[in-house]
Structure 1
Amino acid sequence: MQVHNTKKRRHLKWMVPVTLLAGVMGAVAVMPPPADWSDHLVQALQQYNNRYPQEKVFLHLDKDYYAAGETIWFKGYVTLQGLPSTQATNLYVELLDKNNNIVQKKLFAVFNAGAPGNFELPEAQKPGTYQLRAYTAWMLNFDPAFTYTRTIEIFDPAKKGGPAADSTAADFSVQFFPEGGNLIAGQANTVAFKAIDNNGYPIEVTGTLKDPKNTAIKSVHDGMGTFEITPAGGSDSYQAVVKSAKGQSKTFTLPAVQTTGASLKVFNKGARIFYQAVPANMGDTALNKLVVIAQMGQQLVYKALLDVSEGRISGFIPADKLPSGILQITLFGNNGAPLAERLAFVRNNDRMEMDVLESDVAREPRKKSTFVLRLPDTLQSNISVAVTDADAVPVDKNAADIVSTLLLTSDIKGYVYNPNWYFKDTNPATLQALDLVMLTNGWRRFSWEKIAKNEFPEVRYPYEQGVTVKGITTGVNGRPIVGGKLDMIIKLPVDSSSMFASAPIDEKGQFNIANMVFPDTAYIYYQGSDAKKGKDVNVKFDIHFFDRATQVKIPYPLRVPPAVDNSSLKLFLATAAESNKVNRAINNKTVYLQEVNVNAKKIKPEETTEKRYTSGMFSGGDGYSFDLTKENPTAYNIFQYLQSKVAGLQITGDLSNPSLSWRGGKPGLYLNEMQTDISMLSTLSINDVALIKVFRPPFMGGFGGANGAIAVYTKKGGDNPPANDPSIKGFQLYKKAGYAIVKTFYSPDYSVKKEVHALPDKRLTLYWNPNVAVDTLTHTAKVEFYNNDFSKRFRVVVQGITDEGTVGKLEQEF
C-alpha cells in the first residue's frame, strides 16, 4: 500500500494556529488512536508540526564587506512554515566579534514579514571577522544551529589592503558518510565523503581505498565525491589513503561494517525520487515489515508499507508537484525505530522570477538612473533592492542569498560552501553536486525517536506579539499581592508622547501588558495598589532575555573568511576613507548650523558629559570617548563593552579578569581619575558608568601611561534618570527598551540645489530600499537614484518573497 500527498506549493504551507498566537503551547488537537504502529509515527509528526512550526530568518545586506565608519544596511525576512510570517512582530539582530562578544544588538519591528534595520560602525571599529546573528524569540526554543548567522569582514579604511591570507590551512580532514547511515555487509554500498581544510573550507583530494579492488577516490565538487564498496563481512574494516591537492597524504578509517539493521538507497530523478530498502539480512524476520515516511517542512508527503518477505522493498515518491526544498526520507522498523535516513533535494521550477524590464543608466557624475523591475503575477511581492559600485565594492561569492538560505542551509546542520552555486542552473552536474550535499549533511530539526515517545521541546520563549511588560507585585511581608492593579504613565522621550495604562494583578500577584509597540525607550512611571487600596506594594519587573548581558554561544566555531584580493580592496578602502571624511564634514556642518541660530554659547551635545566629568590631563588627549548616559549598555562590564570598539586595544580571556594589551604593554587603569586595577573595574556595574575615555599611547596623565590608559567615570546624580517626573507624583520609574529606530538611507536628489551638495559624493552604496513599492496592476517596481562622483558600473541586487512563499534573487551589472 502506498499513500502520497503531492499538493501544490501553497497548499503544503501550514498556517499559524490560534493557540500559537495566544501562547497556549500545550494545546493539542485530540487525535483518534492509531490503527497501527506506522499511523502512530504519522500522528507524532502531525502533533509536532501543530505545536512547533518552523520559523526562519534571512538578512539581505546592502554589501558583502564593510569598512569602519560605514553603515550596515539590511532587511530581515521572516517566514513561518515556508510562508511570509505576517503575524511576526519582533526580530532580534546581533553583531558579534570573533570571540562571540556582542558588539551591537537591536530589536527591530517586523511588518508584513519584513524588518528593515541598520548597524552604524564607528570609525574606531576594530577590523576583523564578525558575525551577524538574527532570530525570533520562538526560534530560541530549538537547536541554536538553526538561527540565522552570517560572517562578515570589517576592514580598516586607513590601511591599503586586508589582512594577510591564512597560511595555516595545510592540514585537512576527510569524513565518510555511508548512504542511509549504515555500511551494510554483503551489499553494494554508496559511500559519500567530504574533504575540508582546518579552516572548514573544501579542498580537492584523490586517493585509494584499501579494499580488494583498490577503489579509486576522487572529489568531484568542493571536496565531495562518492565511491562504491561491498564489504564481505562484519569483521572487515576499511581505510582510505587520501592525498590533498597540496601533496599531503593521510590515512582515514571508514565507519564500521554492520551485519544487522538496514540501509536506504535513493535515486533522485527529479519528477520521481526512487528508493530501495537494503536489509542487512534478507532472512531476518524482524525486518519483514518496514515503512518509509517522507516529510518536508514537518509535513507528511509520502508513506509506504514494505514487506521484505514478499520482495516489496522499493518504490518512488512523486516530486513534480512538491515545493523546492529538502525532503527527509526515513526507513522504520516494525517497532517504530528509525533504521536509516536519506535526504533528497526537490528542485522544481517554483522560483520567484524577476528581471529588469527597462533601464536608463547614467554613468556621468550625479546623473539620474532608472530601472524598472518586472515581478511575478502574485497578490503581493515583498522585495528589497541594493545598488552598489560594481568596481569598488568587493563581492563575496560564498555569501548565501535568500534562495539558498531558506530552501537549503536553514534545514541542515553543517557548513555548505558557496550554497548559491547549487541554484545557478539545473544541469546534471549541478544536480549531482547538490545530491552530494544531501549525502554529506544531516537534517536534525527534530528526533523521530523523541517525538514518537511524546518527548517534545520545552517552550521557554513563547511566540511574541509586540513588546511585553510583566512582573510580580509583593507586599511588605514579601508575599504576592492578590488582586489590585498597577497604574502606569508611559512616556516616550523620542517624541514626547505619553499614555496611561492599568494592569490588573492576578491571584498570583502577577501583571502583564502585552502587544506594546513603541520606538527607542519608554519611561514607565508606575504605582501599585492592592484590592484594599493599600500603598505598600513592591513591584519587580521581569527582565526580558534580550535585556540580559550574556555572552552568546555559537554552535559552530567562527570560520576564518578567505582573504580578499588586495587589488580589489584597494579602491574600496580608499573610497571608504574618503567617505568617512565627507560624513565628518557633513556632521560638523550640521552642528555649526545649529549653533549659529542661538544667541548664547552652547556646548556640543557630545561634549556635555565629558566636560562635566574630566579635568586636567584627562580632559584632553588623543583617544576615544564613550558616553554611556546616552546608551542602554548590555555588556557584563566595561571590558566586554570595550571589546571590538577600540582599534589596537586587545581584551582577551576571562572578562572578570581579562588580559589587556596595547602596543605590547598594559594600559593604565583609572576610576574617577584615581589609579585602580582590573579587579575593581571588572566588578563595577556597567549601569553605574557615565563615561569611558580610552587614551592612545602614550598617556601623560599618570603613572603607567606608556601603553595608553582607560579612564572610567561613575555616574553623578545628574546623570541618573530622575526617580520622578516633576509632573508625576507618587510614581516610580522603570525604563523599558522598545524597537530600534532605523536610520533613513541617504539618497541625494541632485535636481534640487542644496548646500550639502558642495561636498564630494563618495557613496559606495548608491541605493538601498528595504521596502520597494510594487505596482499591483502592472507587477512592476521602479528604482531611481543619482550617481556619485566616480562610479561607471552598477551592481543591482534584488531579493524577495511572494505571498505564496516563493523566493527569488536577481543580480545584474550595468
Structure 2
Amino acid sequence: MLKKIVLPLLFTIIASSLFAQTIDNYFESQQTVLFQKLYLHTDREFYFLGDTLWFAAYLVEGQTHFPLQDSCNLYLNLINSNGDIEKSEIFLIENGFCPGWLALSDTSLNEGNYIIRAYTDYLKNFGNDAFFTKTIRFSYVKNSMETTTELPKKDSNKIDVSFLPEGGFLLTDQVNLLAFKAIDESGYEIEIEGKLLDSSDEVITVLNSKYKGMGSFYFMPEENEEYKIEIDEFPDLDIKFPEIRTEGAKLAIKKVVDEFLSLNIITNDDDWEEEYYVAVFSRGNPLFFLEVSGFDISNTILIKTELLEDGINRIILLNENFEPLSERLYFHNKNKSDSINFSFNKQEFSTRDKVSVRINNTSVFAGDENAQLSMVVINETALNNTGINQNIKSYLLLDSELNGPVSSPADYFVDEDKLSSATKLEFLMLTNGWRNYVWNSLKSEKVPLNFEPKCGFEITGEILNWNERKTLENAGVSLGVSSGGFSQLYFSETDIDGKFSFKNVLLNDTALVFAQGKTVKNKLHTNVVIDSLHIGHPVVSNQSLNKLRHFTDIPILLYRLHYYNDFILKEFYPDRDTRMIEQVDVIAKEPEWDGHFRIYGSPDYSLQLDETDRVYANIFQYLVGRVPGVKVMGTKVRIRVPMSIKYIGISTGSARTVLLGGEWVTEETLANKSRDVPLYLLNGAWIDEKSLSMISVGDIDKIEILKGVNVSVMGRLGSGGVISVFTKRDYYDTDTKEIPGTVFEKIKGFSSFREFYLPKYTPENIDLEKPDFRTTLYWNPSITSENGKAEVTFYTSDDIASYKVFVEGIISEGRICLGESMFEVMPQE
C-alpha cells in the first residue's frame, strides 16, 4: 500500500480528495510493464581447453525478485570478440530455475575473451541491456613464461570525462555536489586528475578520481561566470560543462545518520510559498510520498531508512502540479543479503581427503520448500586479485538495474581500508545511475511487448497431395514426439495454405519426431514436409563487445598450475594429446536404441521376430497363444486390461482425431465404441487392423504389447490395450513399402542434463597413481535443504592449495542469499 509520510515541522496533512486523486494519477502514470531478471551463477570465470562451464540459472520477477513459477526457454550463447556466436544451447527453465553446462572442448575456439549471454523470449522485448551477460577468459595450457598481458594505453583523443551534478543541474549561489566519471573509447574506466578553473584561469578546486574513474567535489557556481575543466595528461580534451541555472529547486542527499536518510531541497528562488512533493520508488514500484511545505523548505528532511527497499531507490522532487523537477538515486544496502553460515568437518585437509560442508540457516529459509541455492568450490588461483566479479546480489541489485556496463559489480559491496562500500555505491548512483536507470524506460506506454514467453519449440511444415503439386487445406495432421522415455502426441489441421504448426512442443535432447497427414476424404495419399528448426538469435550489441576488451587475463598462478598438472598427465598418459578432457564418471550405460519410434515407455511384452516366422500368414496368426491375456480370433483381438488402471487423456489443444478401423474418428466418437478394441500402431503411427493384416510377417522386426500402466499415455484410445508393430529397417527402402502420408525426423531440442563428476576415494583406491587435478573441486547447482539445513560431501584432489567456497541463491519471498568461506589442502604427512 502506498504510504504518505508526515514529519514534524515539514509536512502538513492534505485532506482534499482532489489531491488524493491527483497523486494517484501521478503514480498510475509511472506504472511499469512486467519485467524479468535472469542471472547465471557460473562455477568460475577462467577456463582452459577441455573444461566444462557449469551454471545455475535464476529467473525472477523484476520488482519482487520472486522466482517465476512458469516454465520457459533459456537461450545460451557463447560469443567471441567479433560478435559471432560460437556455440548455442537451449535449456528449459522450470519454477524459475535451470541447471546447465557448456562444453569448451572445441579446438576451433581461439584463445581470448568470450561473452556468455543468456536470455528468454520475453526479455527480447527490452533489448540487449536486459540480457544476462558475463565475460569469461578461454585459453590453452601453456608455460606462464609464454603468457603476455597487454595493458590498455591512454590516448588523449580517445577518452571521455562526464560531469554529472547531483539532482540533474547546478544552481548558482548554492553549494552543489558535482560527480564525474572518466572512461576510454571502449567504456572502460580510467583514473584521472585535474582542476576546475573560472574564466580568469583561477583554480577553484583540484579534482581526482577515487574509484574506477569516478569522483566528486562540492563547489558554489556564481552567476554570469564561466567554468572549465582541465585534465592532467589530456590538455586538449574538450569537456562539456554541466548546465548552470539561476533559479529552480533540486534534491540533495546530505548524509545517512544511524537509521535516517538526510535529504535537502536546494533552491535559490525568492518565492518559497510553492508546495513541493517528494515521491520515492523502488524498481518502478511507488513506496511513499511526502508533502513539503514551502515555508519549511530550508529544513532537513529525515527519512527512516526502514521505509526504503534493498537496492536502488529513486527519489523524485515534484512541483505542485506533480511535474518532476529533480531526481536522485540512492542505494540502500538494507539487509546486506542473508549470510549463509558454513561449518566444516575439520580445519585442514590433505589430498584426496573427504570434505563435509554443513549449511545451517534455519533463521533464513527454514520451511521454505522453494529456496534455491547453488554452490561451487574452486582453487583460489582461479580468482583474480579482487575475487569474483559478479554474484547474484550484484546482478539483481546493480547490473540488471542500470543500462550500460558496470565493471566488477561485486566489488562495490566490499569495504576497503580507505574506501567503503557505501562510498563506492554513492559514486555509481551519481554517475551511471544519472541517466541509465532501467525502470525509467519501462513505463507501460513506452514498451511494446512483441515477444511472448515460449516453452518448447514450434514445429511447422506443410501437407501436399501425393504428387506434391498442391498443398492441402484442412488436412488432418498428427505429430508424435519421443525422447528420453518421454512421449507426447499432438493433433491439428492445415490452414488455407496447407501449412501446419505445433507450438510449445517439448523436445528433450535429440528427439524422434513423426508427422502424419490425412486428406479431408480420410485418405493417406499425402506428402508431409517438416520444416527445419531454426532459432534466430538477437544481434550482439557493441556495448556488450566492449566488455571483452579489458577483462582480466588468466592469473599467472593458474597458468602455472595447469602447465605443471598437464605435464604430469602427459607422463602418466604418454599418448595423451594436448587436449585436456575431463574425467567421465560412468554411472550407468544408456540402453541401446533399436531405431524404433515409441510414444510410450517400456512395453509389458516384447516379441522379437526372426526369419523362421515368415510361415505365418499375418500378424494375427502369429500372435495366437504367445502372450498371456491376449486372445486372438481371426483378425479380432481382445487384451485383458486391469480395471484398476485409470486412463489419463492427452492434452492436444484441439479435437483429437485418429485413423482407426479405416476411418478418422474423434475421441468422443471412440468413447461410444467398444472399449475392448485394442489400438494398433505401426512404427509409432496409428493403423487399422485391415491394413495391419496385409503386412508380411517377414517384414516385421518386433511386436510389443501394452496392457498395464503404459497404456495411459494413449488416454481413452488405449483403453482396450495396445499392439505396437515395428518393421525392419530396410522396410522403407522400396517405395511400395513406405508408410503413406508419414515422415520421420530427428530434431535437437533442449540440451541434456549432465552431472558434475565427483570422484570418491576409499582405502582401496586412494593410493592409485592416476593423477587427479580439478580446478573446480565441487559444483552443485541445486542444494537440497531441510528446515534450513544441508550437508554436502566431496573429496579434495592432488593439488596443494587454498580453496574458496561460494554459495548463492534466492528464497521464495525474493530475499538474496550469499555465503563465502575457504579451507586449506595440505600435503599428506
TM score, norm. by length of structure 1 = 0.69
The residue number in structure 2 matching 1:695 is none
**C-alpha deviation, 1:203, in angstroms:** 3.7
The residue number in structure 2 matching 1:66 is 47
SS of structure 1 residue aligned to 2:150: coil
**C-alpha deviation, 1:248, in angstroms:** 8.0
The residue number in structure 1 matching 2:646 is none
Contact 1:273–1:319, Cα closer than 8 Å, also in 2: yes
The residue number in structure 1 matching 2:195 is 208
**C-alpha deviation, 1:439, in angstroms:** 0.6
Mapping 1:373-522, distance limit 5 Å: 373-377=359-363, 378=365, 379-380=367-368, 381-391=371-381, 397=387, 399-424=389-414, 429-442=420-433, 444=436, 451=443, 455-464=445-454, 466-469=455-458, 471=460, 485-492=476-483, 495=484, 498-503=487-492, 513-522=502-511
Distance of 1:167 and 1:587 partners within structure 2: 32
Distance of 2:447 and 2:734 partners within structure 1: 42
Structure 1 residues 200, 447: closer, same or farther in 2, change over 3 A?
A: closer
Count residues in correspondence.
647
Contact 1:242–1:252, Cα closer than 8 Å, also in 2: no
1:144 aligns with one of 124, 128, 137: 128
Distance of 1:765 and 1:257 partners within structure 2: 55
Distance of 1:139 and 1:723 partners within structure 2: 49
2:27 is equivalent to residue 42 of structure 1:
yes
- 1:71 partner amino acid: T
Structure 1 residues 62, 586: closer, same or farther in 2, change over 3 A?
A: closer
The residue number in structure 1 matching 2:316 is 330
1:466-486 CA-to-partner distances (Å, cap 9, x unmatched) read: 214265868889999876643
Contact 2:166–2:178, Cα closer than 8 Å, also in 1: yes
State the identity as a percent: 25
The residue number in structure 2 matching 1:180 is 167
SS of structure 1 residue aligned to 2:339: coil
Distance of 2:69 and 2:735 partners within structure 1: 39
SS of structure 1 residue aligned to 2:231: strand
**C-alpha deviation, 1:441, in angstroms:** 1.3
Unmatched tracts of structure 2, length 5 or more:
7-16, 593-728, 824-829
Moved more, 432-441 or 155-164: 155-164
The residue number in structure 1 matching 2:251 is 264
The residue number in structure 1 matching 2:752 is 741
**C-alpha deviation, 1:276, in angstroms:** 3.2
**C-alpha deviation, 1:344, in angstroms:** 0.3
- 2:333 partner amino acid: R
Distance of 1:532 and 1:496 partners within structure 2: 34
Distance of 2:734 and 2:320 partners within structure 1: 67
Distance of 2:425 and 2:478 partners within structure 1: 59
2:123 is equivalent to residue 133 of structure 1:
no
The residue number in structure 2 matching 1:369 is 355
2:221 is equivalent to residue 237 of structure 1:
no
The residue number in structure 1 matching 2:678 is none
Distance of 1:63 and 1:773 partners within structure 2: 22
- 1:469 partner amino acid: E
2:812 aligns with one of 779, 803, 807: 803
Structure 1 residues 123, 762: closer, same or farther in 2, change over 3 A?
A: farther
- 1:72 partner amino acid: L
2:804 is equivalent to residue 769 of structure 1:
no
**C-alpha deviation, 1:83, in angstroms:** 1.3
2:60 aligns with one of 79, 94, 103: 79
Structure with higher Rg: it is 2
Distance of 1:369 and 1:138 partners within structure 2: 42
Structure 1 residues 312, 389: closer, same or farther in 2, change over 3 A?
A: closer
Distance of 2:56 and 2:295 partners within structure 1: 56
1:562-610 CA-to-partner distances (Å, cap 9, x unmatched) read: 3455345322344367669978799899999x99xx9xxxxxxxxxxxx
Distance of 1:317 and 1:536 partners within structure 2: 77
**C-alpha deviation, 1:227, in angstroms:** 1.2
- 2:23 partner amino acid: S
**C-alpha deviation, 1:168, in angstroms:** 3.6
The residue number in structure 2 matching 1:115 is 98
The residue number in structure 2 matching 1:319 is 305
Structure 1 residues 347, 393: closer, same or farther in 2, change over 3 A?
A: closer
Distance of 1:450 and 1:402 partners within structure 2: 22
Contact 2:91–2:751, Cα closer than 8 Å, also in 1: yes
Mapping 1:742-757, distance limit 5 Å: 742-751=753-762
**C-alpha deviation, 1:128, in angstroms:** 0.3
**C-alpha deviation, 1:101, in angstroms:** 0.8
**C-alpha deviation, 1:735, in angstroms:** 5.4
The residue number in structure 2 matching 1:526 is 515
Mapping 1:560-575, distance limit 5 Å: 560-575=550-565
Structure 1 residues 34, 562: closer, same or farther in 2, change over 3 A?
A: same
- 1:152 partner amino acid: I
Structure 1 residues 257, 163: closer, same or farther in 2, change over 3 A?
A: farther
**C-alpha deviation, 1:149, in angstroms:** 0.9
Contact 2:510–2:749, Cα closer than 8 Å, also in 1: yes
The residue number in structure 2 matching 1:686 is none
Distance of 1:188 and 1:723 partners within structure 2: 90
2:265 is equivalent to residue 277 of structure 1:
yes
- 1:78 partner amino acid: L
Distance of 1:118 and 1:438 partners within structure 2: 35
Distance of 2:192 and 2:351 partners within structure 1: 49
Contact 1:166–1:563, Cα closer than 8 Å, also in 2: no
Distance of 2:261 and 2:735 partners within structure 1: 68
**C-alpha deviation, 1:108, in angstroms:** 1.6
Distance of 2:386 and 2:446 partners within structure 1: 39
Contact 1:483–1:504, Cα closer than 8 Å, also in 2: yes
The residue number in structure 2 matching 1:23 is none
Distance of 2:497 and 2:317 partners within structure 1: 49
Distance of 1:204 and 1:278 partners within structure 2: 31
- 2:414 partner amino acid: K
Distance of 1:123 and 1:540 partners within structure 2: 33
2:742 is equivalent to residue 731 of structure 1:
yes
**C-alpha deviation, 1:533, in angstroms:** 5.0
**C-alpha deviation, 1:405, in angstroms:** 1.2
1:503-559 CA-to-partner distances (Å, cap 9, x unmatched) read: 366899886645543411333322345766577889888988x71266423534233
TM score, norm. by length of structure 2 = 0.68
Contact 1:175–1:195, Cα closer than 8 Å, also in 2: yes
Contact 2:527–2:741, Cα closer than 8 Å, also in 1: no
Distance of 1:483 and 1:332 partners within structure 2: 60
1:194-252 CA-to-partner distances (Å, cap 9, x unmatched) read: 2334554434333221136612213333332211222223x5432112236xx988563
RMSD of the alignment, in Å? Answer: 4.4
- 1:45 partner amino acid: Q
**C-alpha deviation, 1:402, in angstroms:** 1.2
Mapping 1:78-97, distance limit 5 Å: 78-80=59-61, 81=63, 82-97=65-80
- 2:51 partner amino acid: E
2:540 aligns with one of 552, 556, 561: 552
Mapping 1:642-681, distance limit 5 Å: none
Distance of 2:463 and 2:240 partners within structure 1: 63
Distance of 2:439 and 2:194 partners within structure 1: 35
Distance of 2:35 and 2:529 partners within structure 1: 34
Distance of 1:765 and 1:744 partners within structure 2: 14
- 1:151 partner amino acid: T
Moved more, 470-479 or 367-376: 470-479
